[in-house]
């Protein structure tokens, strides 16, 4: 990954429409995602805290989405002006902040699906595993590993950016990426997608085998299914196109398509609060300390009643 391609003034003008679209999309994601995730994180911390593994996972997902949104003002400025006066180091940090938190979102969405599956299918056996302490350890491990794995990528980008006469920043192309790396990245994301699909299918099968009961029981089932369906749809819509395009990266005209899919993937941070809403009952309500303690694990209790 030592070779890179710098962009000249001719290429700026030839991609002007894509730059305009990128400015608009990243601007909308910033204006919606930043306040929405900031409010979601505040509510999760204040109202739910770290009292359940579900809340711990969603706090980490909200934090990842918030950090991703915080990296977008620089992207909006760059695509709006096609200038980068902040230097190679600032650009490298902005790139890594975006990439790390896109990957974090994929992982945390998948872990949330696995956690919900265990709560539904193995409510008693998984109690010793599904604890707040274990969830905190898992989340810390994910943050540390993904950050460490991205450090070599950041070093490569920094060296490549410093070698360019024009500072291309987010348009920097790293050429001659080994096929093993591209296959590894695509395989990792496809594995996460398959985990979400399997969790969704298993949950639907399990719920169909259980008696319907009254209307409350049916509503509980719908709430449970919704969280899995939302997670899977997020992966298919926002991450699957990006994943498949990784394999074609470096080929003619494919790089611009990949950047378009990366832009699409960023929209995910605006919709992740749907996961919090469907997973934690009374997410947006504050009705006293007793209910605050109760709602943290309300979905798990509903699943155990099914």
Could you report the per-residue pLDDT of 267-298, keeping only the tens digit for each? 988 888 777 666 655 444 443 343 334 334 44
For the cut 80, the answer to whether the pLDDT of residue 54 exceeds it is yes
What is the CB-side half-sphere exposure of residue 179 using CA atoms within 13 A? 2
Could you state, in order of their start, the residue ranges of all structural domains in the chain?
4-305
d(CA 172, CA 144) in angstroms, rounded, equals: 26
pLDDT tens track for 115-144 = 888 888 888 888 888 889 999 999 999 999
User: What is the model's pLDDT at position 236?
Assistant: 87
Angle, alpha carbons 44-45-51 (nearest 5°): 90
H/E stretch holding 108:
helix 87-121
Q: Which of 170, 183, 184, 139 is nearest to 263 (CA)?
A: 170
Model confidence band, residue 167 (pLDDT cutoffs 50, 70, 90): confident
- Cα–Cα distances in Å, from 269 out to 62, 70, 190? 8, 11, 19
Return the residue matching tokens 């969603």: 58
Domain 4-305, classified CATH 3.30.70.260, yes or no: no
Three-state SS for 126? coil
Question: In this predicted model, which residue has the larger pLDDT, 133 or 246?
Answer: 133
- Rounded Cα–Cα distance for residues 198 and 305 (Å): 22
- Summarize pLDDT for 65-98 with one digit per residue, the tens: 999 999 999 999 999 988 888 888 999 999 899 8
**Helices (H), strands (E): how many in the chain?**
14, 2
User: What pLDDT was estimated at residue 216?
Assistant: 45
């Amino acid at each position: 990954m030592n070779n890179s391609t710098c962009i000249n003034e001719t290429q700026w003008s030839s991609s002007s429409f894509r730059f305009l679209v990128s400015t608009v999309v990243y601007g909308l994601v910033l204006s919606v995602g930043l306040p929405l995730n900031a409010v979601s994180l505040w509510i999760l911390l204040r109202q739910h805290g770290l009292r359940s593994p579900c809340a711990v996972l969603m706090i980490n997902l909200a934090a990842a989405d918030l950090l991703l949104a915080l990296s977008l003002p620089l992207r909006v400025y760059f695509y709006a002006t096609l200038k980068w006066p902040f230097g190679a180091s600032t650009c490298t940090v902005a790139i890594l902040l975006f990439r790390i938190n896109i990957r974090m979102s994929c992982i945390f969405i998948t872990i949330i699906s696995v956690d919900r599956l265990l709560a539904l299918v193995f409510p008693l056996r998984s109690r010793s595993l599904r604890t707040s302490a274990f969830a905190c350890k898992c989340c810390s491990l994910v943050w540390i590993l993904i950050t460490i794995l991205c450090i070599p990528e950041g070093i490569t980008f920094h060296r490549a950016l410093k070698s360019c006469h024009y500072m291309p920043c987010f348009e920097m192309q790293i050429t001659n990426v080994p096929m093993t790396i591209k296959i590894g990245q695509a395989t990792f994301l496809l594995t996460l997608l398959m985990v979400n699909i399997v969790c969704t299918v298993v949950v639907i099968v399990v719920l169909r085998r259980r008696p319907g009961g009254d209307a409350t029981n049916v509503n509980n089932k719908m709430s449970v299914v919704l969280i899995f369906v939302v997670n899977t749809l997020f992966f298919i819509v926002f991450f699957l196109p990006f994943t498949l395009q990784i394999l074609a990266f470096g080929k003619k005209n494919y790089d611009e398509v990949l950047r378009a899919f990366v832009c699409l993937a960023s929209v995910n941070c605006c919709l992740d609060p749907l996961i919090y809403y469907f997973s934690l009952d009374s997410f947006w309500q504050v009705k006293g300390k007793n209910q605050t303690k109760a709602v943290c694990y309300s979905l798990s209790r509903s699943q155990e009643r099914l």
